[in-house]
Structure formats: C-alpha cells, structure tokens
Structure 1
Amino acid sequence: MKKTLIASAVAAATLSSTAFAMDPASELAAKLDSMPTVYGNIQLVWAYENIDGGTSNQQLADNGSTLGVKHEHEIAPGLTGFMKAELEFTADEKGPNGLDKLDEAYIGLKGNFGKVWVGSDDSIYESYVDKIVNYYEYADLNVGGNYDTGEGDLIQYETPKIAGGLTIGAAVQINGDAENADKSYPYQIGAKYSMDAITVAVAMDSNDGDEGPNSNTYGVMAGFGADNFSVSAEFQTREDVADLFGVFASFSAGANTFAVSYEFEDQDSGDEVNVISAQALHNMSDNMYVYVEGYWADAEPEGSSDSTETTQLALGAVYAF
C-alpha cells in the first residue's frame, strides 16, 4: 500500500515537473513568435559628379541607412493587424542626431477584403507607376514623376487580386488646418493587372495640395518580367508641367544584375531633359551587396541651342539584416 502511494506520488511529481518544464518553454516559444521583427541596413556610397564646363566634386555619403521594426498578428480568423516603423540615420558621419528622420510608419488591417493602412508609406501612384527612379540606389539625376501628393498623412486601400490578376488601389492625404492655410484632401487612384510575366498599371494623382498648378498627373506603366530578364516602359503627364517617358531593362546572371534605363522629360517651360542610367550589382551574400552606377544627364533650356551635361559615378555597398 505504501509502495503504491509512493509510486503514485513519484508519478505525480514527474508529471508535475514535466508540465512545469514544458509550459514555460511553450510560453517562451509563443512569446518569441509574437515578438516584432527588427531589421535594418547600412548604405554607404562614394559619388563623383562632373558638370561639363563647370565644377566637379566627390563625396562619401550615407545613402538611406535605416533601422526598422514590423509586426502583425491575427485579430480574428481572416483579419490581421499589422504595423511598420522605419527610421533613417546618417551612417557616414558621427553625430548627436542618431535616428533623425522618419521614412515609413503606419498601422493597418488586412484580410479577404484587401488591406487598409494609415500613416506614412509609399503612395499608390508611386508604387504602381513611378518605377525607374525608385529602382536605382543613388538615383540623384533620375527624373521621376511630377506629382505632389506626398507619403505622409495617407489613408490607403488596396483590393486583393480580383478577376484573375487585377488590383485596385486608392489613397487620400489628410491635410488639416494645422499643416496648411486651407484644408486639402489630395487623392490617388490606380489599377494594376498582372498575368504571368506581364504587368500593366495606370494611376492618377489629383495634386490638390498647396504646391504647383492644380492639374492632375496621369501615368501608365507596362512591364514584362521573366526569371532573369525584365523590361518596362512608363509614361507620365501633367498639364502645364511636363511629360515624362522612360524605358528600363535589367538582366540577372547568378549573383550579378545589370540594368539600364533612359528617361526623357519635356517640360512645358520648353526645357528638355535626357537621362541615361546604368547599374551593375553583385550580391556577395544574402545580407550584403555592392554596386556601381553611372548617370548621364543632358538638360537643354528653352530658347538655347546649348545644353548642360552632367555625369555621375556612384560606388556603393549595402549590408542588410
């Protein structure tokens, strides 16, 4: 009888200790799974610029180093909450500012209805159409589209893929009395269709802020992307400002990627700008890559047969985790 009691007591103690050992481990695993993801990068570049008939200069500079955190969790079946905060710092100089600039910060919900998010992020128009200027690492001479609605104070919505590959997005910027003399609500709408290797996108920005002429910007982008090769073309126009046309191509071979593009901007003032950009990028590992980029820009002012040529060379390295 006593042996049975002792055996039962030992078994109970064993089960209790096992439960004690397992529960903290399970709780720890659950806590780790619920922890936010911390990520970041250091981007450094050496850049040289020469203006024909003018000055030349060179510098070692930070090229957008960031430290960020992101997280998402299931609120209910089919409904997920998410957030992201990304801060920039200057990596090439020691100073007191630390994380001194906000790049992205937003919260949102996503599910079968699509996703909606509020805060600071790349806008619908920018992500759908304005591809070339956002591809290059240095991108100091790239033209980019003429649209005023910025990346802050945005409420954005994007549908899930419908009709086989169609995505529709919209954004509105809330500018209140505290930021502008008058309230304004500039908005963007866009649609993107992807089928296999082909993507076509159109977008519009109302430009209803307090900058520039109050005319809409319209853009269209079409691209083809295979496993190691991609080409695209984009056209953007804004009345009384400028028309912009660009073509882009890239090719990957192993750890190396090569890209080239051409942009032409015809400004309503009469000025014309041509920009040729090229990049060679080598992935050293999953976390680190190096690149060299070359730029040539030719600007011809209105009423002048002379043009100003600018050339740039950029050598950079990025370590990301």
Structure 2
Amino acid sequence: MNNRELIDKLNKEKSLLFSEWEQLLGTFNEDDAKYSSQIARTISVDKFGKKIFFRGIVEFTNYCKNDCYYCGIRCSNKNAVRYRLSKEDILICCEEGYKYGYRTFVLQGGEDNHYTDDMMVDIISEIHKRFPDCAITLSIGEKERKSYQKFFDAGATRYLLRHETANEEHYRKLHPEKLSLKHRMNCLKDLKEIGYQTGCGCMVGTPFQEVKHLCEDMMYMSEFKPEMIGIGPFIPHKDTPFRDYPCGSVEMTLFLLSLCRIMLPDVLLPATTALGTARGDGRKLGVLCGANVIMPNLSPIAVRKNYMLYDNKAISGEDAGENLKVLQDHMSDIGYEIVIDRGDYKK
C-alpha cells in the first residue's frame, strides 16, 4: 500500500499494523500530510462543527520533585524562580476566568509534595462548590490510585498525564532511574478505571527519538483510547541536559495530530502552547489538522514567566478576557469560533 492508502485504511479501520505505521511515519511527504489534514478536518467539523473548546490553565506551582532531563522546572534547576499559589490565588484565577466564559479549569503543576492530598481535595471541592457548572481537570503527574480517587470524589473529572513515550528504552534516556514507564502507564490505567476523562500524549522530536518510537506511541493510543491527547514538539530548555538538542518537527507534530483525529474521531485534541511557540501560527494549523481545543493561561501574569518547561514559551501578557479575545480573533481568521461550553468527551 502507498501512504494515501494507509491513511484511508486508518480512516476505515481506526488502526494500523506496526509495519504500516513505520512506513507512514517514516516516508510521508507534504501531499500525504495535506491529505490526512483534509480528512481530519472533515471528521472534526462533522463531530463538533467549527467550534473550538477553551480551557483555562492555572499553573499553580513550578516546584517539582522529579528531575526529568527535558524539563525546565526539574528539581535540580537552580536557576528556576520558584513559586506556589495559595488556594485563594487559585480561586481568584477561576473567578476571573468564569466571568469571561471559561467553563473548564485545568490545575497544572509540577509534582510538588507541598500540596498534600487533603489540600488538593480542599481546593478541588471549593472550585466545584463555587462553579458547579464547570469541569475540573488536573495535570499534576503521577500519584497513587487512592489519591486519584480522592480527587475524583471531590469533583475533578478529567486528568492529563502525557505518557511521553511508549518505549521503555527511550523512556530511560529521558528520565532519571527512579522514574518508571510501567508506573506511568499504570497511573493512566487507574485514571481510566476510576472514571476520569483521561488524557495521554507524547512529545515529538525528543532526543534519541526514532520513528519506531512514534509508531509505538500511536499503537499505544489506539489501544488505550484516551478521551484526550496532548501532542506537541519538543523544545529545549537552556538549564537542562538537553539544552543543545534541536526542536521537534512542527510538520511531524501536525501530521500526528491529523492521524490522531482520524484514528480516534471523538477525542478532545488540543492545539498546544508548544506548537504555538515552535511556530507563530502553530495553533491555527493545529485546528486545521483536526484539533478542537485551545488552552489559554489563567495564571497570574506575575508568575507566568516562571512556569517555563521549555525556552521561549509563548506567554501572553493579557488578562483572561484579553487573552481570550486574541484567541477568538485567531480562530475567526480560519473560520472557527470559540464556544462557551464545558466541552466534555462525547462518544
């Protein structure tokens, strides 16, 4: 089969063999990418219309106990300016966002043991109480199942945990010894079993990544069937061991977004900040490749520059309303609209 036939097969059967993924990802050209984006865009418009869901990210801590080799907030980075937001700070962010139409709040942070389970339950419960019509998403890394259950019972219904890579050998080259791919995959399994809308995903172009690793990522996601997928290009950070490695390919990232939409038609698929950082019109291109979610920043403007996972992160200096207006204008440029909606996963 040629690549166009493989894309058609994926559209029909929603899966490919490893050898077929290897051919498609290893040999695709611009025409293949255009063909897949057209199919992905058609699927997305059929499912969701030309509507883009928006989620407000609150980056509430940049402390992290882990030392992942690619991450700017790794614990050994002594140049990072650390901060933590209080419960009151977080609620103010949500209050401001709600006023402008945000109906999903994403609490994102490093793996910071300062925030105990009880503290997180208190924060989640209060957000749920004050904004009962809003969804609460967590992106706070690997926890034990009992912790995930507590957060779910308190009102969090979505969880983002990128698997980063589905290949054990590649995982070992990106993380220190104490972290385990098996544990990360078990966390994702626990989240799904508890009932979260669960998000996984990978970075494109990380050091030592080969086409076969991306093939394994696609096969894993095909089998796991996440409700959300986060894919963005690797961007190096100056204070990490990977500082001198090149950025990941925007073209490969966009191609994978299209293939994810074709493979999992109902998935909630963000056009990520990393994509917008790697290329100025990256988020627009992401939407045109099948993405249907964007995630503006609700964090206090004073701390946004300190949540720096990678260099040159696209940081807005606007408040919640101004930020949203800019994104609305960007989406209207390509014929899409941002809608006030929780944007739940619906099959």
TM-score by structure 2 length? 0.32
TM-score by structure 1 length? 0.34
Higher helix content, 1 or 2: 2
Instruction: Choose 1 or 2 for highest CA Rg.
Output: 1
Higher strand content, 1 or 2: 1
Larger RCO, structure (CA 8 Å, separation 6 or more):
2
